[in-house]
C-alpha cells in the first residue's frame, strides 16, 4: 500500500514535468484519477491510476463567464454561492467541463432591478467586466414584467415618449405587451426601481420582474437557480 501523496507530486513522478506544469495540467482538468477528472493539485492519491490526457496543455485555464437564472430577491453574494457543477443546467452540460477554478475570482456584473429574477452575470474575464461597466449606458437590457391593473389610456405611447410621475421625469422606453398581463421593457442602464415607476406611472402594479437579456446575450432555456457558460460566439 502506497502512502498517499499530493496528486501534483505523483504527476511529476509519472511524466517528469515541473511542479508548476503539474499544477496547470491538474487545474486545467487534464488529469484523471481512476478515470475521474480531479482538478485539485493537493488531492491525495495512493495506489489509484493517475493519467494525463494526451492533448494536455500546461496553460492556465481561460477565464469564464457564467450566466445564472437567479431566483427573485436573491442578492449577488447569495447567488454566487449557488454556483457549482451540480447547478449547471442539464441542457448545457456539453462543450466545457466545469472545473473548481471556474467558481473562483468571479465578479457579479450588470445589477438586476430590485426584487427581480432572471439573468445575472458572473465573470472572471476582465474584458467582459470592462464591457459591462464602461459601456453600461450603451448596452440594452430586456425585462419581462408581470403586472396587474388597468393601463391608463395611451399608456404605451406615453411610456415610449417619456412622462412625468410624482414630479419625476421618466425617460422614453421601449415597451410592448407580451400578453394580457406581461409587458416587455427594453432599456439601457436602468436605474434601480425605474421599471416599477414606469408601471406605476401608467396605472399598473408590478407582480414580478424577470430579466431575460443583457446586450446580445439572453438567459435562454436555463431553469431558475441554474446557470450556463457564456459561449465564445456570444457578445454583450
Q: What is the pLDDT, as a whole number, of residue 76?
A: 93
All cell numbers assigned to 51: 493519467
Fold classification of 65-137+216-229 (topology level) = Alpha-Beta Plaits (3.30.70)
Q: Would the pTM count as exceeding 0.85?
A: no
| Contact (CB, 8 A) for 236 and 86 | no
pLDDT of residue 95: 75
Q: What is the pLDDT of residue 100?
A: 85
Contact 178, 192 (CB under 8 A): no
Q: What is the pLDDT of residue 127?
A: 96
Cβ atoms 41, 26 nearer than 8 A: yes
Comparing 5-52 with 65-137+216-229, is the CATH topology the same? Answer: no
Specify the pLDDT at position 166. Answer: 87
Give the span between the Cα atoms of 131 and 234, in whole angstroms: 13
CATH classification (class only), 140-214: alpha beta
CATH number of 5-52: 3.10.290.10
Task: Per residue of the chain (236 residues), give pLDDT as tens.
Answer: 568 999 999 999 999 999 999 999 998 889 999 998 898 999 999 999 999 999 899 988 889 999 999 999 899 999 999 999 999 999 998 878 898 889 989 999 989 999 999 999 999 999 999 999 999 999 999 999 999 999 999 999 999 999 888 888 999 999 999 999 999 999 999 999 999 999 999 999 999 999 999 999 999 999 999 999 999 899 99
Domain borders along the chain are: 5-52, 65-137+216-229, 140-214
Amino acid 160: pLDDT: 94
Residue spans of beta strands (DSSP E) within the chain? 5-6, 31-33, 36-37, 44-45, 50-52, 65-70, 107-109, 117-123, 140-148, 163-165, 168-170, 174-179, 182-188, 205-214, 217-218, 227-229
CB of 136 closer than 8 Å to CB of 189: yes
What pLDDT sits at residue 206?
97
Residue 1 confidence (pLDDT)? 59
Amino acid at each position: 500500500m502506497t502512502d498517499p501523496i499530493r496528486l501534483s507530486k505523483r504527476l511529476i513522478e509519472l511524466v517528469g514535468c515541473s511542479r508548476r506544469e503539474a499544477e496547470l495540467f491538474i487545474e486545467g482538468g487534464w488529469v484523471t484519477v481512476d478515470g475521474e477528472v480531479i482538478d485539485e493539485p493537493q488531492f491525495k492519491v495512493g495506489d489509484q491510476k493517475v493519467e494525463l490526457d494526451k492533448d494536455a496543455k500546461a496553460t492556465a485555464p481561460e477565464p469564464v463567464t457564467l450566466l445564472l437564472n437567479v431566483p427573485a430577491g436573491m442578492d449577488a453574494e447569495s447567488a454566487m454561492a449557488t454556483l457549482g457543477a451540480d447547478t449547471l443546467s442539464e441542457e448545457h452540460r456539453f462543450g466545457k467541463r466545469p472545473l473548481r477554478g471556474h467558481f473562483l475570482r468571479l465578479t457579479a456584473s450588470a445589477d438586476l432591478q430590485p426584487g427581480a429574477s432572471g439573468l445575472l452575470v458572473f465573470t472572471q474575464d476582465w474584458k467582459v467586466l470592462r464591457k459591462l461597466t464602461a459601456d453600461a449606458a450603451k448596452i440594452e437590457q430586456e425585462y419581462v414584467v408581470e403586472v396587474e391593473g388597468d393601463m391608463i389610456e395611451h399608456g404605451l405611447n406615453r411610456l415610449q415618449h417619456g412622462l412625468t410621475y410624482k414630479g419625476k421625469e421618466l425617460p422614453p422606453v421601449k415597451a410592448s405587451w407580451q400578453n394580457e398581463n406581461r409587458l416587455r421593457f427594453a432599456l439601457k442602464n436602468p436605474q434601480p426601481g425605474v421599471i416599477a415607476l414606469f408601471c406605476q406611472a401608467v396605472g399598473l402594479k408590478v407582480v414580478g420582474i424577470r430579466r431575460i437579456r443583457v446586450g446580445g446575450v439572453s438567459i435562454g432555456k436555463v431553469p431558475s437557480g441554474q446557470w450556463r457558460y457564456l459561449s465564445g460566439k456570444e457578445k454583450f
